[in-house]
Amino acid sequence: MNYAGKRVLVTGGLGFIGSNVAVRLAREGAAVTVLDSTVRGCGANTHNLAPFSAQIDVINDDIGALSTYHSSVVGTDVVFNLAGEISHINSMRDPVRDLELNTTSQLRFLLALRDICPGVKVVYASTRQVYGVPQYLPINESHPINPIDFNGIHKHAAASYHRLLTARGELDATIMRLTNIYGPRMALNIPEQGVLGHFFRRALNGEDIEVFGDGQQLRDPVYVDDIVEACLLAGEQKALPNTNMNVGGLEALPLAEMARILVAEAGSEVRFRPFPDGHKSIDIGSFSTDNSFIREILGWAPTVPFATGARLTLEYYREHREHYLP
Residues 171-208 pLDDT 10s? 999 999 999 999 999 999 877 777 899 899 999 999 99
Residues 16-34 pLDDT 10s? 999 999 999 999 999 999 9
Which of 212, 213, 93, 229 has its CA nearest to residue 149? 93
Report field, pTM of the whole predicted structure over 0.85: yes
* Confidence grade of residue 90 (pLDDT, cut at 50, 70, 90): confident
Question: pLDDT at position 278, please?
Answer: 66
Residues 111-144 pLDDT 10s? 999 999 999 999 999 999 999 999 999 999 999 9
What counts of helices (H) and strands (E) characterise the chain?
Answer: 11, 13
Angstrom distance (rounded) from CA 320 to CA 161:
38
Asked if the model's pLDDT at residue 40 lies above 90, the reply is no
- How do 209-212 and 181-182 pair as beta strands? unpaired
What's the one-letter identity of residue 282? Answer: I
Domains of the chain (ranges plus CATH)? 7-185+221-250+288-304 (3.40.50.720)
